[in-house]
Chain A
Amino acid sequence: MSKVRVLVGTKKGAFILTSDGKRQNWEVSGPHFGGWEIYHVKASPVDPNRIYASQTSGWFGQIIQRSDDGGKTWNPPGTKPEDLMGPDGMPKGQSNMFLYEGEVGTHKFYDGSQHPWEFKRIWHIEPSTIDPDTAYAGAEDAAIFKTTDAGKTWKELSELRKAKGNLWQPGAGGMAVHTILLDPKNANRIYIAISAAGAFRTDDGGKTWKPINRGLKSNYELPDPDAEVGHCVHRIALHPSRPDVLFMQKHWDVLRTDNSGDEWKEVSGNLPTDFGFPIDVHAHEPETIYVVPITSDSLHYPPEGKLRVYRSKSGGNEWEALTKGLPQKDCYVNVLRDAMCVDSLEPCGVYFGTTGGQVYGSADSGTTWNPIVRDLPAVLSVEVQTLP
């Protein structure tokens, strides 16, 4: 019987939630890396026992952790005894090293001045769809790094920052590559998103990048309607069967593109508010998408104190509220951009975590919900693995 393993990153550690394919009864393990901020935990689709985690701290910086046994044990890559010594006999210890390539350069700062890039943390790790030793990491300050040795060393794909990086500006949450989407049909194509710079695409494996923000409107924040960069993209998502179609939750507005980002159009439709953070796509229905509307950019909680996931079965514009099992009064949590995911069972499972520490799951494509856990630290990210 199939199983699911939900990987939860929180403000104070990682948790692993496991269940059989019915997704009714859950076991909770953790906290792993207690006391550390775990921005993201994600497994290789090629080797499900290999899981990468971004462990970070305002005091002690960035650590990458890796498990090769499905999350039972963890090690920073390159610090096992057999990995310790480099050619000169000195320990390598490079798995935590994220250095910007070449001249560091500057980006636009809050006060409009130019500010040097400073590495702060890894927000998102995206393992390759074809090689378990290859993964990409999205950094704050915004940059993308790649490992081809299972996380022992990381190298920046620095051309991204040449895509008008001097005009990128941090949002209130910082300036990070928070989303990385790998095209499953074209190994050279990668999409990334940055708040508050926009979405970008490479078609040559990261050698060159271009902004893909045409059609985005940010009237108050960005007066220039033709601005190529500067849009506050909160999240983008795709269905693996149709990687030219992307869905976007922007600061305000939900959008889609049918041509790999060359042109976007708004599909907010009848949403009660089109501000929000996560967006995801049903595992078996490429036109079924999910968002969690949030009141506004000033009020980061659900409208009317009702936690509602909205589902569109038409790729946007027509949305239905999903409320069964979710709190419909006095609920003032947020759902962050990396905190929603879907499994690939039938029917599709949908999961999301809140800043109040709840992780909700639905085993029927979002129609009904149940809390898997209620009292974790604030949830930063949720990923799920569907296991045989």
Chain B
Amino acid sequence: MIRVVLPYHLRNLARVDGEVQLEVQPPVTVRSVLDAIEARYPVLRGTIRDHGTLKRRPFVRFFACKEDLSLEPPETQLPDTVVNGEEPFMIIGAIAGG
């Protein structure tokens, strides 16, 4: 079970409290986790990555195990501690704007 932390506004949009838990078939990658989130919560399509291109939105960042995965290829496999549910995959709204 993959644990995912969504930012405040996306939790509200998806109407979830706390972490989201998802079944994701291996290999567990950034892309497959995002696919699973969007499949469960279609309203989040386009909010994390663009429609069409599926590129990460500029002010959204991905973290796991204190590592910034935002610039890694979508096929990047997530650490074992994320795959086994010890650590969450975190989607963060970047500190920007003011």
Contacts and interface: CB of A to CB of B under 8 A. Distances in A.
Instruction: State the main secondary structure of chain A at its contact with B.
Output: loop
A18 interface: no
Interface centre among B44, B45, B59, B60 (most CB of A within 10 A): B45
Interface in A80-115: 84, 90-99
Given A57-B9, A60-B9, A97 B97 contact: no
Interface string B44-59: 1111101110000101
B85 interface: no
A60 B23 CA distance: 24
Given A59-B59, A60-B57, A99 B52 contact: yes
Given A96-B51, A99-B51, A61 B9 contact: no
B13 interface: yes
A60 B43 contact: no
Contacts of B7: 59-60
Of A35, A59, A76, A97, most B-chain CB atoms within 10 Å? A59
A96 B47 contact: yes
Which residue, of B7, B9, B10, B38, has the highest number of chain A Cβ atoms within 10 A? B9
A62 interface: yes
A97 B39 contact: no
A60 B60 contact: yes
Contacts of B1: none
Contact of B10 (A58, A60, A95): A60
Interface size class of B (residues with CB under 8 A): 20 to 34
B9 A79 contact: no
B52 A63 contact: no
A152 to B, nearest CB: 11
Interface centre among B38, B44, B46, B94 (most CB of A within 10 A): B46
Contact of B42 (A36, A58, A84): A84
Nearest to A35: B9
Contacts of B43: 63, 76, 79, 93, 95-96
A264 B51 CA distance: 40
Given A59-B57, A91-B42, A97-B51, 18 more contacts: A35-B9, A36-B9, A57-B9, A60-B10, A60-B60, A60-B93, A61-B46, A61-B47, A61-B57, A63-B13, A63-B43, A84-B42, A92-B42, A93-B42, A93-B45, A94-B45, A95-B43, A97-B52
19 contacts: A35-B9, A57-B9, A58-B96, A59-B9, A59-B57, A59-B96, A60-B48, A60-B60, A61-B46, A61-B57, A63-B13, A76-B13, A79-B42, A90-B39, A93-B38, A93-B43, A96-B47, A97-B45, A97-B52
